[in-house]
């Protein structure tokens, strides 16, 4: 089975970093064609820098990293330094990147890659706000039918919001972009908070990262030590939800997840619920299903896979 070709669109972010490391630790299953940075957890100049730092931590300065959208399509940028720290990668002390940022804009890279690769052979893996993806679809609608699948982290149903009472952060930052992506017609698989809040980095799981004793294992443990304080305080949980790596784990071992093919639409008008993913989980409307919306995860299986792959870097 050839490795699956993916583009990771990301706003690192400690959990984005772990997702990138999981992908780079799984070369038999995944070929990372490129990483496109978007503004989200922290502004773009930091997300593009963090993405390069993580590639170098993984020993992969060959991975092309592109900078994309500085701002959401319609409203001002909302960031999450309160969760991820000033740098977006607080926790470990990592060296500044030496690998270059690609000249090309991330949106142009997405468009050109989808046009150049055989139709249906490239999966888009958005781990942050959907601004780059929506911009690519707006600029080049012809690429939509060429997308093999969009596997994204975002949204929530039973878990409702984490940045507002109604909305999950990635969708909330750019609901107009999310609406474009969810209505585009490309196959979509969603990893919402309903799943990621069941992927908690308990002490035992974080110790397993640290006990790898490698620069990657120790850095991931230090990222989690920082990243988890916010969620543990807010939810009283026994660890941080490791949101974004669930996207990559799905590509490697889909059986770790269960969900439903349902209709998901995005609230863009209401001030109160802007960015809410209105998921018809109980199929009470006649709206056409448009997304595989995941609801459960084999958390032990997920962490076993993740630790095994991090150990390979
Ligand atoms: O709500 C969680 C999501 O928002 C994750 O992707 C995290 O990195 C932040 O981008
Ligand atoms: Ca993210």
Q: Encode pLDDT of 143-199 as tens digits.
A: 999 999 999 999 999 999 999 999 999 999 999 999 999 999 999 999 999 999 999
79 Cβ below 6 A of ligand 1: no
The phi and psi torsions of 88 (rounded to 5 degrees) equal 90, -15
The phi and psi torsions of 273 (rounded to 5 degrees) equal -120, 20
The phi and psi torsions of 277 (rounded to 5 degrees) equal -90, 110
Distance, in Å, from the CA atom of 8 to the CA atom of 124, rounded to the nearest integer, reads 6
Distance, in Å, from the CA atom of 90 to the CA atom of 15, rounded to the nearest integer, reads 11
Distance, in Å, from the CA atom of 229 to the CA atom of 240, rounded to the nearest integer, reads 7
Instruction: Report pLDDT for 203.
Output: 95
171 Cβ below 6 A of ligand 1: no
The whole-chain average pLDDT of the chain stands at 97
Residue with tokens 């089975």: 1
Best probe residue, ligand 1, of 12, 14, 15 (max atoms within 8 Å of C-beta): 15
Per CATH, the homologous superfamily of domain 4-310 is: Ribonucleoside hydrolase-like (3.90.245.10)
221 Cβ below 6 A of ligand 1: no
Best probe residue, ligand 1, of 127, 161, 190 (max atoms within 8 Å of C-beta): 127
Quote the ligand 1 centre to 59 CA distance (angstroms).
24
Mean pLDDT, to the nearest integer, of 213-224? 97
Residue 36 reports pLDDT greater than 90: yes
Quote the ligand 2 centre to 126 CA distance (angstroms).
8
Best probe residue, ligand 1, of 89, 152, 169, 276 (max atoms within 8 Å of C-beta): 169
Residue 231 reports pLDDT greater than 90: no
Distance, in Å, from the CA atom of 191 to the CA atom of 282, rounded to the nearest integer, reads 18
Starting from the CA of residue 243, give the closest ligand. Answer: 1
Residue with tokens 């911009």: 135
Residue with tokens 């607080």: 90
153 Cβ below 6 A of ligand 1: yes
Residues, beta carbon < 5 Å, ion ligand 2: 11, 13, 16, 127-128, 244
In the residue annotation, 105 being an active-site residue is answered as: no
Distance, in Å, from the CA atom of 287 to the CA atom of 285, rounded to the nearest integer, reads 5
Say whether 77 sits in a helix, a strand or coil.
Answer: coil
Quote the ligand 1 centre to 169 CA distance (angstroms).
6
Starting from the CA of residue 82, give the closest ligand. Answer: 1
The domain limits of the chain are 4-310
Q: Grade residue 230 by pLDDT with cuts at 50, 70 and 90.
A: confident
Q: Encode pLDDT of 37-62 as tens digits.
A: 999 999 999 999 999 999 999 999 99
Distance, in Å, from the CA atom of 90 to the CA atom of 100, rounded to the nearest integer, reads 22
Q: Grade residue 98 by pLDDT with cuts at 50, 70 and 90.
A: very high
CA dihedral 18, 51, 123, 215 (to 10 degrees): -40
């Amino acid at each position: 089975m050839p490795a699956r070709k993916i583009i990771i669109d990301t706003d690192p972010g400690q959990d984005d970093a772990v997702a990138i490391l999981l992908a780079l630790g799984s070369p038999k299953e995944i070929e990372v064609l490129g990483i496109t940075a978007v503004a989200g957890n922290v502004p773009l100049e930091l997300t593009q820098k963090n993405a390069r730092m993580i590639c170098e931590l993984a020993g992969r300065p060959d991975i092309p990293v592109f900078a994309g959208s500085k701002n959401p399509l319609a409203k001002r940028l909302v960031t999450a330094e309160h969760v991820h720290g000033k740098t977006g990668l607080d926790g470990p002390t990592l060296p500044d990147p030496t690998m270059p940022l690609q000249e090309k804009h991330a949106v142009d890279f997405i468009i050109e890659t989808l046009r150049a690769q055989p139709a249906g052979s490239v999966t888009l893996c958005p781990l942050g706000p959907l601004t780059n993806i929506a911009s690519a679809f707006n600029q080049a609608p012809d690429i939509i039918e060429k997308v093999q699948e969009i596997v994204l982290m975002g949204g929530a149903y039973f878990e409702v919001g984490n940045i507002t009472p109604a909305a999950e952060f990635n969708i909330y930052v750019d609901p107009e972009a999310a609406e474009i992506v969810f209505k585009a017609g490309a196959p979509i698989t969603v990893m919402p908070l309903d799943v990621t809040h069941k992927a908690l980095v308990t002490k035992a799981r974080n110790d397993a990262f640290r006990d790898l004793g490698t620069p990657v294992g120790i850095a991931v443990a230090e990222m989690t030590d920082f990243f988890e304080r916010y969620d543990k305080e807010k939810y009283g949980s026994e660890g941080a939800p490791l949101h974004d790596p669930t996207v990559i784990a799905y590509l490697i071992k889909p059986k770790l997840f269960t969900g439903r093919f349902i209709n998901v639409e995005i609230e863009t008008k209401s001030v109160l619920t802007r960015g809410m993913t209105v998921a018809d989980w109980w199929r009470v409307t006649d709206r056409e299903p448009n997304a595989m919306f995941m609801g459960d995860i084999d958390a032990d299986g997920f962490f076993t896979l993740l630790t095994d792959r991090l150990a390979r870097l």
